[in-house]
Every structure is written in C-alpha cells, then in structure tokens.
Structure 1
C-alpha cells in the first residue's frame, strides 16, 4: 500500500474487493448446497441458503429498514463479559464487560470479512475507543459471522467471545489490532483473483501480539476447535435477524438502529445528538 494513500482511496479499494469476495462466497455456497443434496442433507442446505439470503441482502452503509434490540433469543449460559444480546461492552477501563453510566450506548455489529466494516473501523475505531475511555460513551461490539462457511469469519466470531471471557483486558486491543493488521490491509490490496480470506492461525498470532501467553492461546485454540461458543454463535444470528438487521456493519445508538449514512463524521454527530 502506498504510504500517501488516503482513507477515501482505501475505502474505494475495499468496495471493489467486496464484490469479488461476495462472488467467491456465492460460488462456495452453491458448491456446498450441491454436496448437501447429494448426501441427502436437504435441511442443512436450506438453512444455509436462508442464512445467505438474510445476511447478505444489504451491504450498503445506509440501511432502509431500521430495527432495534428486542427480547433475546440467546438462552445459552453467558459469561458476565457478554450481554444478553451477544454484545461485548467497553467502558473507561477499556475491558470487556465494563460500561459507562449516563452516556450514549454505541453498538456495532461486525464481521472481520465485511469490507464496509473495515471502512467503518478505519474511520472511527480510535475515536470511539477514546470516547469510551473518556467516559463519553459505552462502546459495544457484536461479533457476527455473515460468512459462516469461511473459517476466518466463523472462528473469528468465537475467538472474540473467548478473549472477552478469558482475557477481558486484552479484548479491545485484539479487536482493533485484527482490523488494523489484517482486514483493513486485506481489502485495501486485493489480488487479481479476489480477496483470499486469511488462515485462522493469523488470529491466534494476533492474540499473542496483544499479550496473551502461549498457554492461553493454546487453550483458546483447543476450545475453539472443540466447538466452544458454537451455540452462542447460532443464537446470536437468530437474535440478529429477529431484531430486523440485514447486514454488517449495523450500528445502534441506545438500542435503536442508526439508519443513515455513517461516513465522514456523520456517526459522531449522531452520537452527540443522542446525549
């Protein structure tokens, strides 16, 4: 990436890369459906098609059908760092599960392989982090897998949950670093063959870089490979669709979907107006 490349240029490159990624995922999904039919697992194929329709129908920054957080679909036992809607809150301490009182609550549903999420993070991550630390907002991140057939998306969601529970003081550093080191550059510099999702091992490497020990990372990998947080992941998707959300990033302010274009500082103005 050229050193003098502007954020606008990075965003445009991300949008171009997104189209290629969606086409690749569409082909991947079609192949998976065919295999499912061959082996007779018709129900699984239908569920996969339904998920694809729901979560990939809208990738625009301005969402036409606003939703809000409603009664929870999440019934699995949750650690205290994860709320009843599957979110991870950040307050002054910058640790998972903390919050600030009497200030706007800014919630962001994201996927590491969502190109528009990288644009949002590139513009606002540092500012929102500072606002949370200054006690001006409670920041909430909602890990969401809109590409459940791609391990970097599916496992990435569950790794976020694991770190929030087991290393809450490292959670925000990890979240920000994955975007900064992996996904923003990924969409800014697509190859001729399109965006190639990174290997999940890159996420474990990032965990070490933010301070998790080798033992913690080994335990995390063992837990994720063993299916940790799969039930939460499935229920979080049900919650996402029940709330009327149709794509990522989805932004809420005080539990209500922000239904406007968030770019170029507009989100900060909306937060200010919510005080």
Structure 2
C-alpha cells in the first residue's frame, strides 16, 4: 500500500490545501510577471510613439518654408548672367587679370551633371589657387521645372548667401546626379530650400527661397539668362567658354586637364 493511502482524511485535505496554495502562488507570480512584461511593452510603445511624433513634428517644421519673395536685385552676377566663383566656392564679383572659364549648364542636363561630378574637385583646386576665374551661367534650356527652379535658386543664393554658393551648387548637382541615376525625383521649391539649408544657407534666406524662385521676378532672371545663351547661338549644354569665346576641344582632354592648360595662360 502506498504512503498516500496511509494518510488520514484530514492530512489529505491539508496536502490538497498546500498544493492549491502553491498553485495560487505560482499563478500570482505569473500574473505579476505578465503585468510587468505588459507594462514594459506599453512603455516601449509609448517611447517609440513619442520618438515618431517628435520626428513628424520636426519634419513638419523642416518643411515649413513660408517666407516671402525677395527682390531680384542680383549681386555677384555678371551682366551676361554668370556667377563668378571665388575662394572656397564663394560667389564674388568678376576678377580682372585671370583667364575666365564660363560654364553654361542646366541642372537637368545629363552631360552637365556628369561634367560637374567629374570636375568639381578640379574646380575647387583652381578656385582656391586663384589661377582661373570660373564663372557658372545657370540656364534652363531643358525647359523642365527643376531646370528653371534650380537656375533661379543659384541666382538667389549667389545674391543673398554668397558665402554658401559653392556648397549649394554642389548639393544641387548631387541632387541632379541622384535624379539622373533614378534614385530620386526632381525637387519642389521647398525641397530646394531644404537642400540650401543643409548646405549652410542661413535660415531666413532658405525660408524665403521658395516664394522667391517661384515669383515672376526670379523667373524673369532665368528667362534673361536663357536669352543670353540663345543670342550667342550656343547649341546645347554644357557650353564652355574661355574669355567669352566658345571652346569645343575641352572634352577631348577632360575638364581637369583643360583647366590646367587654361591656368598656364596666366603664367
């Protein structure tokens, strides 16, 4: 006969109560553990939600470029709508006594995009050396929205944030490269303002950029730049000039080597 059969009825009841108590204690601990886990999950969800809200609010603030249109009173722009580069890519007045290399480019022209991508370091080298005066002529010969907005934007930044012109121009061409590579879509005026802000353009200047470049006054600036291009009978972009004369042989040696040859003219 087993030991359990030797227990009295009272002892069996006591053993049953102990087992029930042990089960209730296990259930209590399990419920407590589940509450803690559930509480942790709720807390984690709240943290994730809070972070998401912060990001959404931040993004909303970042997209809020509700400034006003500034006057199209161009600064650091030549009479034929060129923007001269100075040291560190700053937009400056044209410098005398230097060979002048003009670059007529459209931000939606694939050849212009590739040219800038391949030559941007050479541009910086000669800008900082001061042996060549690089002058960018923004045009919208492709007649796309980004062609026109991009051209207006660089005239605007050259005028109101000249110290940031080179970085903004590089960033805009980087966006163009992504578009060409089908990694991105053409930006809106507000997206161009965000590009400008990330390139260091002051907040107040970036805030007024969308209203400015979509205004009739700045559209007219781009139209006048296009007219200069047309009046010279230039056929396509990029068009490269040296001291105002169109040069066709630069592509045979590549822009970096071509700039070295032009720089030698100063010596």
Q: Which runs of 5+ in 2 are unaligned?
A: 1-71
Q: What is the CA distance between 1:196 and its match in structure 2?
A: 4.9
Map 1:42-121; keep pairs closer than 5 Å. 79-92=74-87, 94-121=89-116
SS at match of 1:130: helix
Q: Give distance in 1, aligned partners of 2:262 and 2:201.
A: 33
Q: Does 2:185 correspond to 1:185?
A: no
Contact 1:174–1:207 under 8 Å retained in 2: yes
Asked if 1 retains the 8 angstrom alpha-carbon contact of 2:78 and 2:94, the reply is: no
Bigger helix fraction: 2
Partner of 2:127: 132
Counterpart in the other structure of 2:213 = 224
- Paired residue for 1:53? none
Relative contact order, higher structure (CA 8 A, sep 6+):
1
The match for 1:145 is 140
What is the distance in 2 between the residues matched to 1:225 and 1:269?
Answer: 38
Is this contact kept in 2: 1:95–1:171, CA < 8 A?
yes
1:260, CA displacement in angstroms?
A: 1.7
Q: 1:274 to 1:256 in 2, by over 3 A?
A: farther
Give the Å deviation of 1:119. Answer: 1.2
TM-score normalised to structure 1 length: 0.64
| In structure 2, distance between residues paired with 1:93 and 1:128 | 10
Greater radius of gyration (CA): 2
Q: Specify which of 248, 252, 256 is matched with residue 241 of structure 2.
A: 252
RMSD: 2.2
How many correspondences in the alignment? 193
Alignment of 1:167-186 (within 5 A): 167-180=161-174, 182-186=175-179
SS at match of 2:148: helix
Match of 1:215 among 204, 208, 213: 204
Deviation at 1:98, TM superposition (A): 3.5
What 5-or-longer segments of structure 1 have no aligned partner?
A: 1-76
Structure 1 residues 128-159: Cα deviation after superposition (integer angstroms, max 9, x where no partner): 122011111111001100132x2211111111
| 1:34 corresponding residue in structure 2 | none
Verify the 8 A CA contact 2:105 2:139 in the aligned structure 1: yes
